[in-house]
C-alpha cells in the first residue's frame, strides 16, 4: 500500500506503455515489506531537463530509473557520474547524495556481466567481441572493461559511434587493448550481439556464427524471444549462452544496491515478477 512514508522511485521515459520495471520492482517490494514504489512517469524530451530537477525536489523522492529517450540527455544534468556512465555516454539510474547532489550510474552492462559471472564464466583476462556500439553495447563494453577484460573488439557500421566508444574506453581504461572495425568472432572468449538484429523476422545474423568456437560464450541483448536466431545458431555449435532477459533481471540487484535497498537474486526476481 502506498502511504505518506512510501519512498518514490520515478521511472522516467516516453512513452510508458511498454515499461516493465514496475512489474518487477513492485512485486519485490511488496513481497519483502519494503515501503517503496516504482511509478512510471511519461516525460517528453522537451520537458525532461526541467522535470528531472523538479522531481528530485519532492520530499518523498528516493531515486529515478531512466529509460529511453532520456539516457543520454541525463548525463549533462548530473552533478556526478560513474565511470561506467561516462564510458557509455548515458545513465539509467539517478539518486541524491547526502548533500543533495544528483548522482548517476549505468547498469545495463553490469547486468550483462553479472549474468556471465553467475553462469560460472570468467570475465577478467578474456578477449571479447561486441557487435553494436550504441547505448547498450557501450554500457556492456564499460562494464566488461571495469571487470578486467584483457581485450575488447568493437564493431559498428556507424564509424563515429564505434570510434567514439573506442576513445572513451582508452581514456578511462588504458590497460585494456581496444580494437575496432571487425565483426570476426574467431578466437574470442566471449561474443555479444548488442544490436537490434533479431527483433524482426528475416534479420541477418550479427556475425558469422560459423567462425564462433564451441568454447566461446555467446551473449544476446534482444529480448523479443528467449532464443533468438543468433542464439539458436550459437547453441547448434555447442556454445554456452546468455539470453537477453538475463541482462534485465541481473541488473536489478545492482539498482537495489545503488538505491540502498535490500538486494536479491535474479532467480528470485523472475519468480515474483508479474510480467504476464
CATH of the domain at 76: 3.40.50.10860
Instruction: Tell whether 97 and 187 lie within a shared domain.
Output: no
**Does residue 257 sit in the same domain as residue 183?**
no
Is residue 69 located within the same domain as residue 143? no
**Which residues neighbour 160 within 8 Å (Cβ) at sequence distance 6 or greater?**
none
- The answer as to whether 1 is a domain residue is no
Q: What is the model's pLDDT at position 40?
A: 97
How many C-beta neighbours within 10 Å does residue 234 have? 27
What CATH number does residue 174 fall under?
A: 3.40.50.720
Same domain, 217 and 268: no
Cα-based distances in Å from 122 to 126, 144, 244, 270 = 7, 11, 19, 24
Residue 149, in any domain of the structure: yes
Answer for the pair 48, 70: CB distance below 8 angstroms, yes or no.
Answer: yes
- Cα–Cα distance measured from residue 220 to residue 204, given in angstroms and rounded to the nearest whole number: 14
Q: How many domains does the chain contain in total? A: 2
Whether residues 154 and 95 share a domain: the answer is: no
Cα separation, 218 vs 85, in Å, equals 24
- How high is the pLDDT of residue 276? 73
Q: So what's the pLDDT on residue 224?
A: 84
Q: For residue 258, give the C-alpha cell.
A: 545503488
pLDDT of residue 65: 98
SS3 129: strand
53 is catalytic: no
151 & 221 share domain: yes
117 and 237 housed in the same domain:
yes
Query: How do residues 233-248 score in pLDDT, each as one tens digit?
Result: 999 999 999 999 999 8
Helix boundaries (H) for the chain: 22-31, 48-55, 71-74, 83-88, 108-118, 135-146, 159-172, 229-236, 244-258, 266-272
Quote the mean pLDDT of the chain: 96
Q: Which of 44, 71, 200, 274 is catalytic?
A: 71
Burial profile 94-105: b = 16 or more Cβ within 10 angstroms, e = fewer: bbbeeeeebbbb
146 and 97 within one domain: no
What pLDDT shows up at residue 165?
97
Q: Closest by alpha carbon to 16, among 66, 81, 59, 60?
A: 66
What is the mean predicted confidence (pLDDT) over 218-227? 93
CA distance 141 to 132: 10
Q: Find where cell 532520456 sits.
A: 70
Range of the domain at 18: 7-106+247-272
Coil, helix or strand at residue 191: strand
Q: What percentage of the chain exceeds 70 in pLDDT? A: 100
61 and 140, same domain (yes or no): no
Q: Which residues of 144-156 are buried (b: 16+ CB within 10 A; e: fewer)?
A: bbbbebebbbbbb
- On whether both 124 and 229 belong to a single domain, the answer is yes
**Residue 120 burial (C-beta neighbours within 10 Å; 0-12, 13-18, 19+):** exposed
Evaluate if residue 166 carries a pLDDT over 80: yes
Radius of gyration of the chain (CA): 19
pLDDT at residue 267, rounded to an integer? 93
Kindly state the cell numbers that stand for 194.
Answer: 548488442
What 3-state class would DSSP assign to 106? coil
Local confidence band at 275 (pLDDT 50, 70, 90 cut-offs) = confident
Report percent pLDDT > 90 for the chain.
Answer: 95
58-87 pLDDT, tens digit each: 999 999 999 999 999 999 999 999 999 999
pLDDT at 21: 92
pLDDT digits (tens, 9 = 90+) for 83-131: 999 999 999 999 999 999 999 999 999 999 999 999 999 999 999 999 9
Same domain, yes or no: 191 and 136? yes
Within a domain: residue 131?
yes
How crowded is residue 237: how many other Cβ atoms within 10 Å of its Cβ? 15
Q: Are the beta carbons of 2 and 37 closer than 8 angstroms? A: yes
Amino acid at each position: 500500500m502506498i502511504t505518506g512514508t512510501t519512498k518514490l522511485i520515478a521511472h522516467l521515459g516516453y512513452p510508458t506503455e511498454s515499461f516493465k520495471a514496475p512489474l518487477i520492482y513492485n512485486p519485490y517490494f511488496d513481497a519483502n515489506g519494503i515501503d517503496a514504489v516504482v511509478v512510471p512517469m511519461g516525460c517528453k524530451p522537451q520537458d525532461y531537463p526541467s522535470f528531472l530537477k523538479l522531481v528530485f525536489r519532492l520530499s518523498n523522492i528516493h531515486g529515478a530509473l531512466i529509460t529511453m529517450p532520456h539516457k543520454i540527455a541525463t548525463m549533462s544534468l548530473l552533478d556526478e557520474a560513474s565511470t561506467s556512465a561516462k564510458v557509455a555516454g548515458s545513465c539509467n539510474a539517478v539518486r541524491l547524495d547526502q548533500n543533495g547532489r544528483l548522482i548517476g550510474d549505468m547498469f545495463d552492462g553490469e547486468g550483462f556481466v553479472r549474468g556471465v559471472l553467475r553462469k560460472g564464466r570468467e570475465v577478467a583476462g578474456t578477449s571479447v567481441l561486441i557487435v553494436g556500439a550504441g547505448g547498450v553495447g557501450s554500457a556492456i563494453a564499460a562494464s566488461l572493461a571495469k571487470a578486467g577484460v584483457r581485450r575488447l573488439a568493437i564493431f559498428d557500421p556507424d564509424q563515429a559511434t564505434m570510434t567514439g566508444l573506442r576513445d572513451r574506453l582508452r581514456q578511462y581504461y588504458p590497460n585494456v587493448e581496444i580494437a575496432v572495425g571487425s565483426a570476426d568472432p574467431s578466437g574470442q572468449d566471449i561474443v555479444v550481439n548488442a544490436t537490434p538484429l533479431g527483433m524482426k523476422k528475416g534479420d541477418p545474423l550479427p556475425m558469422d556464427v560459423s567462425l564462433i568456437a564451441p568454447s566461446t560464450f555467446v551473449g544476446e541483448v534482444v529480448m523479443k524471444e528467449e532464443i533468438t536466431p543468433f542464439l539458436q545458431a550459437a547453441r547448434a555449435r555447442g556454445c554456452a549462452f546468455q539470453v537477453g532477459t538475463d541482462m534485465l533481471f541481473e541488473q536489478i540487484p545492482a539498482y537495489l544496491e545503488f538505491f540502498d535497498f535490500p538486494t536479491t537474486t535474479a532467480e528470485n526476481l523472475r519468480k515474483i515478477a508479474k510480467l504476464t
